[in-house]
Chains A and B, each alone.
Chain A
Amino acid sequence: ETGVTQTPRHLVMGMTNKKSLKCEQHLGHNAMYWYKQSAKKPLELMFVYNFKEQTENNSVPSRFSPECPNSSHLFLHLHTLQPEDSALYLCASSQDRGGVDTDTQYFGPGTRLTVL
């Protein structure tokens, strides 16, 4: 496997379900990101992890809970979501989170989430 992978690619869940999205990067990067892409909106940054530590949380509701056990893996735990949370969730990684030369982000294919 190369690059950034995400599983599952598609997920349908009810509002009372608990599910998790998984992201894995095989690039030796130290920073990982979760983005949300809703229809006709810009990509929205949700969380940033740098060297396994969360460095940014852009006012994301607590029903989204990230976890970064190591620099290669990033999870997004979902519980009691709302229909408006239906979107494409993209994971990205970059070499570091410090400067423009190291911050170019490489994206996974995304998980298409539908909340019923």
Chain B
Amino acid sequence: DQQVKQNSPSLSVQEGRISILNCDYTNSMFDYFLWYKKYPAEGPTFLISISSIKDKNEDGRFTVFLNKSAKHLSLHIVPSQPGDSAVYFCAVLNEKLTFGTGTRLTIIP
């Protein structure tokens, strides 16, 4: 049973607009959440994280929101740029790092 779900396999967004990537998790005991970005032929790279004691963390154009009651995590990218086109994985850290299936984001120039 998948503990981390990214229900949208793909997303297309116009350049300059906001990209919102979503992630749901099942275990309310999870306490640390991460987003990774992956380009083709490269391994995932760490993007941003958030601890369960916070509900928002911001780093430049990237903001992660955590809704603990809904067990929902989202990544906002604004403004979206063509270089943001990649696959985005959410991951939760409890005793180990568990990844979602990823969402392919395409930014349309």
Number of A-B contacts (CB under 8 A): 49
A43 at the interface (CB under 8 A from B): yes
- Are A105 and B97 neighbours in the complex by a CB distance under 8 Å? yes
With both chains docked as a complex, state the minimum distance between the C-beta of B1 and any C-beta of chain A, in angstroms. 12
- Are A48 and B96 neighbours in the complex by a CB distance under 8 Å? yes
- Are A108 and B49 neighbours in the complex by a CB distance under 8 Å? no
- Chain B interface size band reads 20 to 34
Main secondary structure of the interface of A (DSSP, over half): loop
> How many of chain A's residues have a CB under 8 angstroms from any CB in B?
22
- Are B101 and A42 neighbours in the complex by a CB distance under 8 Å? yes
User: CB < 8 Å: which of A42, A56, A104 contacts B2?
Assistant: A42
A42 with B4: in contact, given A48-B96, A100-B32, A109-B41 (CB under 8 Å)?
yes
| 7 contacts across the A-B interface (CB closer than 8 A) | A42-B99, A42-B101, A43-B99, A103-B32, A103-B97, A106-B45, A107-B36
Residues of B near any A CB (own CB < 8 A): 2, 4, 31-32, 34, 36, 41-46, 49, 51, 89, 93, 96-102
